[in-house]
Amino acid sequence: MGVIALTRAVSPAMDRCELSHMERTPIDVGRAGRQHDAYERVLRELGCRVVCVPPAADQPDSVFVEDTAVVVDEVAVIARPGAEARRGEVDAVATVLADFRPLRVIEPPGTLDGGDVLTVGRTLWVGVSRRTNPDGAAQLQRILEPLGYEVIPVPVDGCLHLKTAVTAVADDTVLVNGRWVDATVFSGRTVIETDPAEPFAANVLRVGDRVVAPMAHRRTRERLERRGIRVVAVDVSELARAEGGVTCCSVLLSAGVEGAAGVEGVAGGP
Ligand code: CIR
């Protein structure tokens, strides 16, 4: 089964991005665009069909398309970003996703950023963070548990999203910065710690049997390679200045399970 990767171009207004845990430093938007092009090329080389959401020049963070949706085989859940300035990003993504999946929607007062959702098989860990509130996590649970998914809320502290602190590098293995998330919630799985000198290195993107990881985090890459994990390095240094990593710039979904069936919310459900 193939993989579709939704992406969205870098906005010329990216230097007005949201920032929570990082100092603002000048962003070379042209260079960010070239890095994003190279990222899309890598996804294609790894076998993804890249589908571009129409660009949003006036939405500084729109390249970080991951935050706008959570997609499983049965449905696409349209997120409600915790940063108010980002809420306008979701409509265009929903329009594209409607071609591939029935849509569900996170409704007020819930907030949820896709960057807070780590999916491995039929388990989803949801970071409760400054962006995703308990109501947003509970709505995701109400949407997905009837479909046979287990949804596990996890407190996140000190970083932007759950996936800033942890991602999966194999079905049974997670890459974790234990300073930002309690690694014991992944018990039963192998835990690889990021190199202490590379706190942002836990954000890697698994595509098939490869892991896409930022070039800047050499020591953590070497840790992964020593465990037999095949890593493809990409330069995302300008995107990182906007507090973005490699998962943020795409939404991956399995191809071949498409079906569209309208929109349905869950607020106020049982
Ligand atoms: C934000 O603060 O929302 C953006 N500047 C960065 C979002 C990164 N997204 C992600 O990690 N999923």
Cβ–Cβ under 8 Å, residues 132 and 164: no
Could you tell me the two tokens for 63?
A: 């390249």
Atom of ligand 1 nearest to the CA of 116: 12
pLDDT of residue 263 exceeding 80, the answer is no
Q: What is the pLDDT of residue 256?
A: 81
The pLDDT confidence band at residue 265, using thresholds 50, 70 and 90, is very low
Taking CA atoms only, the protein residue closest to ligand 1 atom 7 is 244
Average pLDDT over residues 119-129: 97
Q: What is the pLDDT of residue 241?
A: 97
Taking CA atoms only, the protein residue closest to ligand 1 atom 4 is 18
Taking CA atoms only, the protein residue closest to ligand 1 atom 10 is 248
Please provide the average confidence, as pLDDT, over all residues in the chain. 95
pLDDT of residue 269 exceeding 50, the answer is no
The Cα 213–Cα 236 span in angstroms is 9
Residue of 188, 269, 234, 258 whose CA lies nearest to 1 = 258
Q: In what order do the strands lie in the sheet with 150-155?
A: 117-120, 123-128, 150-155
Average pLDDT over residues 136-157: 97
- The CA distances from residue 74 to 21, 146, 253, in Å, are 34, 11, 10
| DSSP label of 158 | S
The CA 141 to ligand 1 mean position distance, Å, reads 22
pTM: 0.95
| DSSP label of 184 | G
Amino acid at 192: I
Average pLDDT over residues 7-34: 97
Q: What is the pLDDT of residue 260?
A: 60
pLDDT of residue 192 exceeding 70, the answer is yes
Residue of 155, 61, 183, 166 whose CA lies nearest to 120 = 166
Who wins on pLDDT, 259 or 233? 233
* Farthest-apart Cα atoms in the chain, separation: 48
Query: Which of 15, 16, 18, 64 best tests ligand 1's pocket when mutated (most atoms within 8 Å of CB)?
Result: 64
